[in-house]
Structures are given as C-alpha cells and as structure tokens.
Amino acid sequence: MDLRVKVECVQDVEISEPVSPTGQYFNTSVLSISLICILEFENPIDDASRLALHIIDAFLHINPRFSSIMVEDKEGGKCWKRVQVTVEDHIKVACFPEGLSSESYDHYFRDYLSKMAMDPLPQTKPLWEIHIIKYPTSNASGNVIFKLHHSLGDGYSLMGALLSCLQRADNPSLPLTFPVLRKTIKPENELKNLISVIAQSLTGALNTLFDFGWSILKSSFLEDSRSPIHSGNEGLEFGPINIMAMAFSMDQIKQIKSRLQVTINDVVNGMIFLGTRLYMDLTSKEERNTRPTALVVLNTRSIGAYKSVIEMVQNKEAKSLWGNQFTFLHVSLPELYRNDESFNPLKFIKQTQTIIRRKRNTCTVYLTGVLLEYLRKYRGPEVTAKYIHGIIKNSSMGVSNVIGPLEKMTLSNQRVKGLYYMPINGPQSLTVTTISYMDELRVAVGTEKGFIDPEKFQTCIEKAFNMIFDAAVKSE
C-alpha cells in the first residue's frame, strides 16, 4: 500500500495548548489508557489505500491534538506540541493468511485486537493509530479499528471525532442525527415540589458524606474481594485481553423501558449487572453473595446528545465540550436472590435504578473532582494518576455507554454494518461498554485473558436480557 504522504502542520517549535488535568492523569507512568473503536463493514474492503487516505484527510482537521505530541514546558507542565505527521506511522494494515474461513479469521481478528491493545502508543508521535483489516469475519466483511489515547479526549469527544469521518448512507449532505433525551417533567404543585426538594437535599447531604468517605476508602484501601470477575492480579493493564461484542434490539429495550417506567440506561445497566451475577453464580457458587462494585462512567456535560464536531472545535462557547469531561460512580451490584419461585428480573432492574439514582443525587462527583484537583495542584499528576489507578483497580468492573447515530453510516462509500468500542490498558479484569446504532444496541465485553471465559460471559448477558424481556412481556 502506497502511503507516501506527509501532512504538514505548524512548525514543531510551536506550543499549541496546555494538556487538561484529566489528560495528564491518563498519560503517566502509573496510568496510560487508550480507547479502541471497531467499525464493521457490510462489503469487502477493495482499496485499503484510498480508505486510509480518506480517513487521514478527515481526521487531522478535527482537532490540533491529532497532530501533536505531549511535552513538558519550562514550568514542568504538560502541553500539546504541534509536529509533522507521517501517515505511514499511523496506518497499519493487518496481514493474515489468505483463503481461510470466516470462523478462522474470527480467531485471527481477536488475537490481533489483543496484541494491539497491549502495544503502547509511541510518545514521540501523535497518540493515535488506524488499523485496517480486510479479511471477512463472522460479523463483517472487513473492519477498521481506531486506537486513540484517552489523553486526547473522553468517549464523547473521541466518538465525535470518529463520526466526523463518516457520512449518512441515504444522503451524505445531511448530518447524522442522534436520539434526544427527554427532560424530566417537574411536578406542577409548587408546595409538593418544595417539600420534595428539601427532603432530597437532606437525604442527599447524608448520602454525600457516606458515599464520598466510602469512595476515598475504596480508592485507597478497600479492594473488592477476589471473585470470578476480579482476579486482583498485578499488571493487568499490560496483559492480554479478549474483546467480544453482541447485539440487542433497541425496540425490545424500549419495550422493557416503557413497561417499567425507567430509562434505557436503567434497562441496559440492569441487564449487564444481572448477566454478571449469573456468570458469577455459574462459575462459583461460593461467590454468589459477594458485593462486587462497578465503576459506572458518567458524562458531565450538560447536554443530551452530540453537537457537531465543528462546534466542538471552533465555536468558542462549545469548545469546552472537547476533551475529558466525565466522572464515575462506585455502584454495588444488586445481590442475586435466585430460586425458581421468587426471583424477579424486573425487580433486579428496579434495584439497579435505585442504587444508581441515589448515587447520582449526591455531591460526591463534585467533591471527587475537588480532591483530584487538590492532588494535582499540590502533589502533581503522577500522584493523582496513582489515586485514579486505585479507584479503577479496587473495583471489579467498568461500565460505560455512548449514544450513537440513528442512520446507517458510510466511510469512503463503505457501508458500516455496526460499531463498538472498548477502553484498554486499565487495571480491571472486566469492562463492559454499550453504544446504540440505528435499531441496535452493541454491547462489547473486554475480559482478562485466561481468567474470564468470554463466551460463557456473553451467554450470561444474553440470558439476562431474555429473562428481563420475557418477564416484561408477561407482566403487560
């Protein structure tokens, strides 16, 4: 493949912008997390060079960070330094044996993902790569994998960057659209509303004290017990992982949502937690009553859906939407009281909703941000990164979600069949992510290789969804 192209940027002595505090935390000797996003294509990739150059042409104009490296300034702070980008350094084309079955290529594809996840991004070049896999698997005729360092931005802004390379299949001149989140309707009775606010404030204050104190203990001392989803092994961020994805009907999820009067996220989180509990119960009966915690990632932007990448990058007011603007909550998984007569999967969804809602209705997120800023200011990014490393390592699993487009997409006229993403290089045995695309929800599972059985875990997630959906249909 001929990619003898160099993209000229500004002079390499220019300092473009300081690195955000969160961007510094995610690129230290203690913590270095990246994000990969996999695009699945309906048709074979016939021209990898054309596809690669199309991506590069769109990609480098999104944000200066994609043509910058992270360096120290004279005061010891971190800055993005603009450099010249050589395309060959960032485009990788996989080479597998020819003429194999799609099932055989499934194994090659998973091994490729695992190795790619372990290989660190060079700090002397802009922190991203694009991998093209032209071999057909059981799920797609070809794949493109974006590997992006988390210091460039969080899932919201990086997904926005990715989507800027894509177009609507039905009409490329129209923008992609996204589901709109409905705002909560406030009670009409002002007195009842006032009483409710006061009650919530008092309860929230008490919950804040408890949750913030518990969060500090979890981050510093209290590691989850060993279990089928938490090995506690050192160096997990450098070890091999398995990444698998599955699809669920958004129409069925909305049907469950309407029946229970909850949010889509409540249904999805409940399904993930129930599937995890089923896996633990199936793997080790002795561990069924342990209390594992999940880190649920929350977007802290006060918006309901994506804005255009142009607004995120160029508009002064919206520029603050770029970067890392998220936080996470420690959420204990509901216990699995399971016997044939009394277990109710719909009740499990309600329990999940109650736990997460209580956690969100506190100031713990704000206080955690203040604590991290204090550590950064007085102890430095490395100490802060070590604290965040403890937050992740001492919990059993990570859960995050991103809203995807409603229309079918194309990349250089290649129709996108599906997409999913996964944070990598984190010190956890289990990570679950979700993204919506058209009428499907893609659930991706990243598991510690040799510890968690990915096929068995996937079966448990699918079983949990079927249990919930069947129960919702029967209760109508």
Q: What is the pLDDT of residues 132-147, one digit of tens each?
A: 999 999 999 999 999 9
What pLDDT does residue 60 have?
A: 77
**Residues forming beta bridges with residue 419, ordered by sequence position:** 39
* The pLDDT of residue 304: 47
Of the ranges 113-117, 129-133, 380-384, which one carries the lowest mean pLDDT score?
380-384
Average pLDDT over residues 1-6: 47
This prediction has a pTM of: 0.86
pLDDT-derived band of residue 286, with 50, 70 and 90 as boundaries? Answer: low
Which amino acid does the sequence have at 382?
E
Predicted confidence band at 302 (pLDDT cuts at 50, 70, 90)? very low
Centre a 10 Å sphere on the Cβ of residue 456 and count the other Cβ atoms it contains. 14
Higher pLDDT, 176 or 256: 256
Check pLDDT > 70 for residue 198: no
What is the Cβ-side half-sphere exposure of residue 35, based on CA atoms within 13 angstroms? Answer: 24
Side-chain half-sphere CA neighbours of 221 within 13 A: 4
**Who contacts 357 (Cβ-Cβ below 8 Å, separation ≥6)?**
none
Residue closest to 466 by CA, chosen among 282, 248, 259: 248
pLDDT of 325 above 80: no
pLDDT at 9 over 50: no
* Separation of alpha carbons 278 and 282, rounded Å: 6
Query: Residues 34-83: pLDDT tens digits?
Result: 999 999 999 999 888 888 888 887 777 777 888 899 988 777 778 889 99
CA distance 410 to 413: 5
Beta-carbon contacts of 465 under 8 Å, excluding residues fewer than 6 positions away, are 248, 271, 275
| % pLDDT > 70, the chain | 82
pLDDT of residue 244: 94
Give the number of other CB atoms < 10 A from CB of residue 336: 16
Judge whether residue 192 has pLDDT over 50: no
C-alpha Rg value of the chain to the nearest Å? 22
Name the pLDDT band for 421 (thresholds 50, 70, 90).
very high
**Which residue did the predictor score with more confidence, 381 or 308?**
381
CA 390 to chain centre: 19
The predicted structure's pLDDT at residue 472: 93
Rounded Cα distance, 422 and 145, in Å: 11
Band of pLDDT at residue 288, cut at 50, 70 and 90: low
Look at 169-173, 177-181, 224-228, 302-306 and tell me which has the smallest mean pLDDT: 302-306
Give CA–CA dist 447/236, Å, rounded.
10
- As a three-state string, the secondary structure of the chain is CCCCCEECCCCCCCEEEECCHHHHHCECCCCECEEEEEEEECCCCCCHHHHHHHHHHHHCCCCHHHHEEEEECCCCCEEEEECCEEHHHCEEECCCCCCCCHHHHHHHHHHHHHHHHHCCCCCCCCCEEEEEECCCCCCCCEEEEEEEEHHHCCHHHHHHHHHCCCEECCCCCCCCCCCCCCCCCCCCCHHHHHHHHHHHHHHHHHHHHHHHHHHHHHHHCCCCCCECCECCCCCHHHCCEEEEEEEEEHHHHHHHHHHHCCCHHHHHHHHHHHHHHHHHHHHCHHHCCCCCEEEEEEECCCCCCCCCHHHHHHCCCCHHHCCCCEEEEEEECCCCCCCCCCCCHHHHHHHHHHHHHHHHCCCHHHHHHHHHHHHHHHHCHHHHHHHHHHHHHCCCEEEEEECCCCCCEEECCEEEEEEEEEEECCCCCEEEEEEEECCEEEEEEEEECCCCCHHHHHHHHHHHHHHHHHHHHHCC
Domains (range + CATH), the chain: 6-168 (3.30.559.10), 190-474 (3.30.559.30)
- pLDDT tens for 352-405 read 999 888 877 777 777 777 787 788 788 888 888 888 888 889 999 999 988 888
Residue 82 vs residue 214, higher pLDDT: 82
Nearest by Cα to 126 from 145, 148, 93: 148
Give me the pLDDT at residue 181, please.
60
Residue that wins the pLDDT comparison between 127 and 178: 127
Distances (CA, A) of 96 to 68, 99, 241: 32, 9, 20
